[in-house]
Chains A and B, each alone.
Chain A
Amino acid sequence: MQGGMWVRLADRHGEPGVSCGVDGLTFGFTPMLERAKTRLGQSVWTVRAPNELSETLTKAYNIAVDVASKAETLGRIAERLNRNDLAMAQLMTLHLITPNTSPRAGDAGLMTLAAHLGSISLLKGFDPDQHPRWPAGAAGHQGGRFRPAGSVDANPMPHPGNDTSVVSDVLPGPASKHDRCVQQCLHLLPSPSGDLQSSEFRRCYRECMGRLT
């Protein structure tokens, strides 16, 4: 349980939440991976377009979701499934920490869900660097709660979506702003206009990084 919300894998496809099995990774009935053929004709799992997944999750949670920061982890889950390493794929899926729908009724439940999605970099437009949390075990039982930006945190709380205590060799570290912006703009490569200087991607990346004023 994190932030007052239980997280578990769904037992089978079609159940609320995320399930991971030999037949892929699904959110409810919605596949998050798809099959593709390699040049040698081998069928492999690949990640569906992040914008499609974001739309699906947005509808499921009824909150604007952006999966860009999870695309890399989803890719690693696909790799594990391609290696028939189901156990690790399921562990990594669990570490996505995607809450089961639906939130508890009422504004409080919605706020809890939004805070949770934000803390694992799934809330669209939410920058966890701008909303730091108190570390686990902090005085006053406030571990995990948001702390004022700029306050001293001598023992930073690990990013819950990327807790490396179990599978540190395969789980990525906290997504940096660079990583998030790359994911957000990835669809602009190769350049839609054929521009070899990738102007569309670079503009998008700059805007995302806040360089354009």
Chain B
Amino acid sequence: MLSRMHGEVDLKRQFAEHARDHALKAISELSALLVAGESEMPKPEFQALKQAVASIIGLIERDVLSSIYAKHGDLDDLGRP
């Protein structure tokens, strides 16, 4: 997404790190919400929340983090297999 929005703009390393950290923080917040919701919410509502969170995390992975890692592979928190 980042590269699509801004063409082939080179993500400067410092900004790339910053962007990655924000994206990962967003994922952590969403994950924490799921952990809390699992014990607090009725199952059907939790399943709906889980579905939504999964989709958002997937989009962050696909549209934000992958653009960063394409330019700065060494910043990839999951590393390479």
Residues of A within 8 A of B (CB): 36-40, 44, 46-47, 72, 75, 78, 178-179, 181-182, 185-186, 189-191, 194-199, 201-203, 205-206, 209, 211-212
B17 within 8 A of A: no
**Count the B residues whose beta carbon is within 8 Å of the partner chain — how many?**
31
Q: How far is the CA of A44 from the CA of B48 in the complex (A)?
A: 14
CB contacts (< 8 Å) of B80 on chain A: these are: 212
**B41-61 to A contact mask, C-beta < 8 Å, 1/0:** 111110110110111011101
Q: How far is the CA of A182 from the CA of B50 in the complex (A)?
A: 10
Q: Which of A47, A186, A194, A199 lies in contact with B54, CB distance below 8 A?
A: A186
Q: Which of B38, B44, B57 lies in contact with A198, CB distance below 8 A?
A: B57
The answer to whether A190 and B38 touch across the interface, beta carbons within 8 angstroms, is: yes
Please provide the 3 A-B residue pairs with the shortest distance between their CB atoms, ordered closest to farther.
Answer: A38-B42, A196-B28, A36-B43
Q: Would you give the shortest CB distance from B53 to chain A, in whole angstroms?
A: 7
Q: Which of A181, A190, A194, A199 lies in contact with B58, CB distance below 8 A?
A: A181
**B19-38 to A contact mask, C-beta < 8 Å, 1/0:** 00000100110111011001
Residues of B within 8 A of A (CB): 24, 27-28, 30-32, 34-35, 38, 41-45, 47-48, 50-51, 53-55, 57-59, 61-62, 66, 77-78, 80-81
Q: How far is the CA of A197 from the CA of B61 in the complex (A)?
A: 11
CB contacts (< 8 Å) of A190 on chain B: these are: 31, 34-35, 38, 50
CB contacts (< 8 Å) of A205 on chain B: these are: 57-58, 61-62
The answer to whether B58 and A197 touch across the interface, beta carbons within 8 angstroms, is: no
Q: How far is the CA of A206 from the CA of B57 in the complex (A)?
A: 11
* Most chain A CB neighbours (cut-off 10 Å) among B28, B31, B41, B53: B31
Known: A196-B31, A197-B27, A203-B78. A44 touches B50 (CB 8 A): no
Complex: chain B residue closest to A188, CB-CB: B54
Q: Would you give the shortest CB distance from A63 to chain B, in whole angstroms?
A: 27
Q: Would you give the shortest CB distance from B65 to chain A, in whole angstroms?
A: 8
Q: How far is the CA of A201 from the CA of B45 in the complex (A)?
A: 20
The answer to whether A38 and B58 touch across the interface, beta carbons within 8 angstroms, is: no
Q: Which of A40, A78, A194, A199 lies in contact with B78, CB distance below 8 A?
A: A199
Q: How far is the CA of A109 from the CA of B28 in the complex (A)?
A: 49
The answer to whether A186 and B51 touch across the interface, beta carbons within 8 angstroms, is: yes
Complex: chain A residue closest to B33, CB-CB: A190
The answer to whether A36 and B42 touch across the interface, beta carbons within 8 angstroms, is: yes
Q: How far is the CA of A205 from the CA of B65 in the complex (A)?
A: 13
CB contacts (< 8 Å) of B27 on chain A: these are: 196-198, 202
Q: How far is the CA of A40 from the CA of B45 in the complex (A)?
A: 12
CB contacts (< 8 Å) of A38 on chain B: these are: 42-45
